[in-house]
Amino acid sequence: MSADLLTLTPDAARNALGEWLTQRGEPAYRLRQVLPRLWQRPVARWADATDLPAPLRSALDDAFPLQRLTLRTHQVSSDGTEKFLWALADGEAIESVLIPEGKRRTLCISSQAGCALGCVFCATGRMGFRRNLSAGEIAAQVRELILRDPALKPTNIVFMGMGEPLLNWDAVDATLTILNQPAGLGIGARHITVSTVGILPSLAKFAQRGEQFRLAVSLHAPAVALRKELMPIEKKYPLPDLMKALQQFRRRVTLEYVLIGGKNDSLETADQLARLAQPLEALVNLLPLHPGGAPDLTPSSRAQMLAFARRLKQHGVEAVLRRSRGLDISAACGQLRVEVEARARGRDKVGAEQHAHIE
C-alpha cells in the first residue's frame, strides 16, 4: 500500500518513514538521508536521490511515490510577476503567482480548486467550487518552484490564491506546519499570511495556533448592506460578528480592501472603514481592482484611490495603496484558469461545428 508523505506534517512523515525503514532493516542514519528529500532538498522522484542505494530508491518509489503537479501554463509579466497554472492528478487546475520585489519573493498559493463564495469582483468565484486541496497539493505549489530552480524558493507565502483557506482548515492547518517547520520548508511564521473572508469557527482555530502567522481579512466594505452586495458570505458571518472575533485576535490584522469605482470608494465609505480599523490598529491594504477579475466592474480612478488612502490616514489609520501586478498577464485570481478553460471550450465548439458541417 503506497502512501503520500507530502500530505503529512514533517513529524508524521518522520514517523512513517522511520517505521518503514526499521521494518526493512535499514541503518538509523537512512532517515536523516531520506527525510530532507521531501522538502528541505526536494527531489522530483526518488531515483534522483543518488546519495541513496538504488534498491532503496526503488522501494521508496513503490511505498511512497512522490506526487507532482503538472505545469499547464506559465506566464511572465514585464514587471517580473510569474503566474503558474498547475494541473492536479484528477485533471483539476489551480494557480499560484510569484511576485518578486527586491530580495523578497512572495508566492500567492491556492487552497481550493475553485471557490464557493461568489464574491462579485473575483474570477475564481465565478468558476464555482470544485474541491478542497490536500495539504500535499497546497505545499506542492512551493515545492514545485524549488524543483524548477532552488533560487525561486519564496521568502513569503500568502494564502490569497484560489479558494477560501478557512473552508479547508484541516489541510491548511497541516500545510502551515509543513511550510513553517525547519524539517519542512522552513519559512518563518511572520512571513506566512492566511487571507480569509471571515469563516468564524476556523478563524477561532487559527487564532489558537502559537506561531506568529499573519492574518489578512478580505473586508471590501465597511457596512453590512454593501458587503452583502459584494460578498454573499456576509449573510452567514455578519460584519459585526467578524469584527468582534478580530478584536480577540492577539496579532495585528490586515484588512484587505479592493477599490471598485462607484461602489466602495467614496470618502464617506473611507470614514466608515476607519471606524472599523481604528480599534484593531489594523493595517489597511488598498488594492486596485484587477480588470481581469471582474470585467463588468470599474476600477477606481487613481485620483480617487489616493483620496481614499489620504482620508484613512487623516483618521490615524495606516493604509497602503498597492499597485496591481501582472496587468499584462492573467494575474487576477482565477483569471488564467477561466481563460484556459474558455479557450478549450472554444476549441471543442469549433471542432464540433466542423464535425457537424462534415456530416
Q: What are φ and ψ of residue 176, in 5° steps?
A: -55, -40
The predicted pLDDT at position 112 comes to: 96
Instruction: Provide the grid cell at 239.
Output: 460584519
- CATH architecture for residues 70-341: Alpha-Beta Barrel (3.20)
Residue 343 has pLDDT above 80, yes or no: no
* pLDDT digits 0-9 by tens, 301-315: 999 999 999 999 999
Name, in order, each residue with C-beta under 8 angstroms of 51's C-beta and a sequence gap of 6 or more. Answer: 33
**Where in the chain are all domains bearing CATH 1.10.150?**
5-63
The two beta strands, 192-196 and 214-218, are: parallel
Positive or negative: CA dihedral 28, 34, 40, 41: positive
Of residues 353 and 127, more confidence is placed in 127
Q: What's the rounded mean pLDDT across residues 277-300?
A: 87
How much is the pTM? Answer: 0.89
Residue 265 has pLDDT above 90, yes or no: yes
The predicted pLDDT at position 354 comes to: 34
Report d(CA 71, CA 82) in Å as an integer: 13
Least Cα distance to 219 among 201, 204, 240 occurs for: 240
| CA dihedral angle for residue 110, residue 116, residue 118, residue 123, rounded to 10 degrees | 40
5-63, which class in CATH?
mainly alpha
pLDDT band with cut points at 50, 70 and 90 for residue 342: low
Instruction: Provide the grid cell at 254.
Output: 490586515
- Are residues 286 and 305 in contact, defined by beta-carbon separation less than 8 angstroms? yes
Tell me what the pLDDT averaged over the chain comes to. 89
pLDDT more than 90, % of the chain: 79
* pLDDT digits 0-9 by tens, 172-198: 999 999 999 999 999 999 999 999 999
* pLDDT digits 0-9 by tens, 91-147: 999 999 999 999 999 999 999 999 988 888 887 777 788 999 999 999 999 999 999
The least confident of 61-70, 153-162, 168-177, 330-339 is 330-339
Q: What's the rounded mean pLDDT across residues 246-273?
A: 93
* pLDDT digits 0-9 by tens, 51-94: 999 999 999 999 999 999 999 999 998 888 999 999 999 999 99
The predicted pLDDT at position 330 comes to: 52
**Where in the chain are all domains bearing CATH 3.20.20.70?**
70-341
Q: What's the rounded mean pLDDT across residues 23-27?
A: 96
pLDDT band with cut points at 50, 70 and 90 for residue 352: very low
The predicted pLDDT at position 323 comes to: 75
The least confident of 153-162, 302-311, 317-326 is 317-326
The least confident of 42-51, 190-199, 340-349 is 340-349
pLDDT band with cut points at 50, 70 and 90 for residue 341: low
- Are residues 108 and 84 in contact, defined by beta-carbon separation less than 8 angstroms? no
pLDDT more than 70, % of the chain: 89
Residue 339 has pLDDT above 70, yes or no: no
Q: What are φ and ψ of residue 195, in 5° steps?
A: -105, 130
The least confident of 114-118, 275-279, 317-321 is 114-118
The least confident of 12-16, 77-81, 169-173, 326-330 is 326-330
Report d(CA 348, CA 181) in Å as an integer: 45
Query: Which active-site residues does the annotation give?
Result: 95, 333
By the 10 Å C-beta count (0-12 exposed, 13-18 middle, 19+ buried), 209 is classed as middle
